[in-house]
Copies of this chain bind each other. A is one copy, B any other.
Amino acid sequence: MIRRLSEAERRDWLRLARAEAVGPVAFAELIARFGEPREALAALPELARRGGRAGAVKIPSPAEADRELAAGEALGARLIAACEPEFPLALAALDPPPPILWARGQVEALARSCVAIVGARVASAGGQRFARGLAAELGAGGHTIVSGLARGIDAAAHEGALPTGTVAVLGGGVDDVYPPEHRGLYQRILETGCVVSESEPGRAAVARDFPRRNRIISGLSRAVVVVEAEMRSGSLITARLAAEQGREVLAVPGSPLDPRAKGTNDLIRQGAAVCEGAEDVMRALETLRGLREPDAEPFRHPAAGADQALRNRVAGLLSPTPVSRDELVRATGAPPSAVFAALVELSLAGRAELLAGGLVTQG
């Protein structure tokens, strides 16, 4: 249900998003179950206790949420909640979407068709030239180029798209410029495009922020192009996320003698489309299956609780190997809403981990 939040609702939305042990899946489930973040916040301590949590669940106070909102506003950034009309459609189509997004700069760049260009940090001169040219051509074609502000291919892609607008997705807050030598590039990005992040303004990125950052890069984009990537590199993770999200994946081929082509050639071997230029991306977008629209009605579960017996049965079915929620419903024979409720409670207690795509592991 797309709607604009009041100031009070926005504060509660942010508090729920930042509450301990509430990831995007639990957030979506709680909103689906309780309708309003205020109600979910009120229920959170009891849900965590039912899940088996010993201590209290840490929820930011209204004052703490206000401090984050004020810090963002001081930067000229704005918080976009997943239910709001400015929230990028492609990102809203994720299951689950990130609950919030901070955006600084020309936010309207997010409303255009987005194409991600990512790749090696230690990139060849040719690879950077290719990325720059591809970004310029796709930008001229009306697309917003999304990347991660990293050295190498990312920077080249942003540079190529500066005249038409580009989006940098950061792991830290929207003011956390990394690497530091990209401060000038960052400023120029803000003039025609924008910088976005899930993280709190002022926060410096740490390693575990990058998977979430990568998920937003692909989630914003209808297609992801990988230009130069070694095996087991971050760009390949972004490509895998894109494929899981139903986005088009393209890779730029390279000589087998060039280690920077190993990752992209392997993507092609696995089914990624060959990208030799903007034309290949345009063709992929033409044949692109439509994005899944976000749920029109997030209140899909009747308010239901799980009893202790069901919670324990569900907990007993979990292991480090991901299992789908549908399988848990089948295995328990319980109503889906009760199983989901049990899972949220277990996750708040750290006994379950709710993954994207409806998968669950032991916490």
Interface of A toward B, CB cutoff 8 Å: 126, 129-130, 252-258, 261-262, 265, 268-269, 273-277, 280
Closest residue of chain B to A270 (Cβ to Cβ) is: B274
User: Please, could you name 21 A-B residue pairs with CB atoms under 8 Å apart, sorted by A?
Assistant: A129-B257, A130-B255, A130-B257, A252-B255, A253-B253, A253-B254, A253-B255, A253-B268, A253-B274, A254-B254, A254-B255, A255-B255, A255-B258, A255-B261, A256-B276, A256-B277, A262-B276, A265-B274, A265-B276, A268-B268, A268-B274
Residues in chain B near residue A273, CB distance under 8 A = 269
Option from B126, B268, B269 in Cβ contact (under 8 Å) with A255: B126
| Structural contact, B257 and A253, CB atoms closer than 8 A | no
Between A252, A258, A269, the greatest number of chain B beta carbons within 10 A of the residue's beta carbon is seen for: A269
Q: Which 4 A-B pairs have the closest CB atoms?
A: A253-B253, A256-B276, A269-B274, A126-B257
Docked CA distance A262–B279 (Å):
14
Residues in chain B near residue A262, CB distance under 8 A = 276
| Structural contact, A253 and B265, CB atoms closer than 8 A | yes
Report A330 CB to chain B, min CB distance, Å.
35
Closest residue of chain B to A280 (Cβ to Cβ) is: B269
Residues in chain B near residue A280, CB distance under 8 A = 269
Residues in chain B near residue A252, CB distance under 8 A = 255-256
Residues in chain B near residue A254, CB distance under 8 A = 253-255
Report A258 CB to chain B, min CB distance, Å.
8
Closest residue of chain B to A125 (Cβ to Cβ) is: B257
Residues in chain B near residue A274, CB distance under 8 A = 253, 265, 268-269
| Structural contact, B253 and A261, CB atoms closer than 8 A | yes
Report A269 CB to chain B, min CB distance, Å.
4
Residues in chain B near residue A129, CB distance under 8 A = 257
Residues in chain B near residue A257, CB distance under 8 A = 126, 129-130
Docked CA distance A269–B130 (Å):
19
Closest residue of chain B to A275 (Cβ to Cβ) is: B256
Residues in chain B near residue A269, CB distance under 8 A = 273-274, 280
Residues in chain B near residue A268, CB distance under 8 A = 253, 268, 274
Closest residue of chain B to A258 (Cβ to Cβ) is: B255
Q: Given A130-B256, A255-B258, A255-B261, 6 other A-B contacts at CB below 8 A? A: A129-B257, A130-B255, A253-B253, A253-B274, A255-B255, A262-B276
Docked CA distance A252–B274 (Å):
13
Docked CA distance A87–B160 (Å):
58
Report A291 CB to chain B, min CB distance, Å.
25
Report A226 CB to chain B, min CB distance, Å.
13
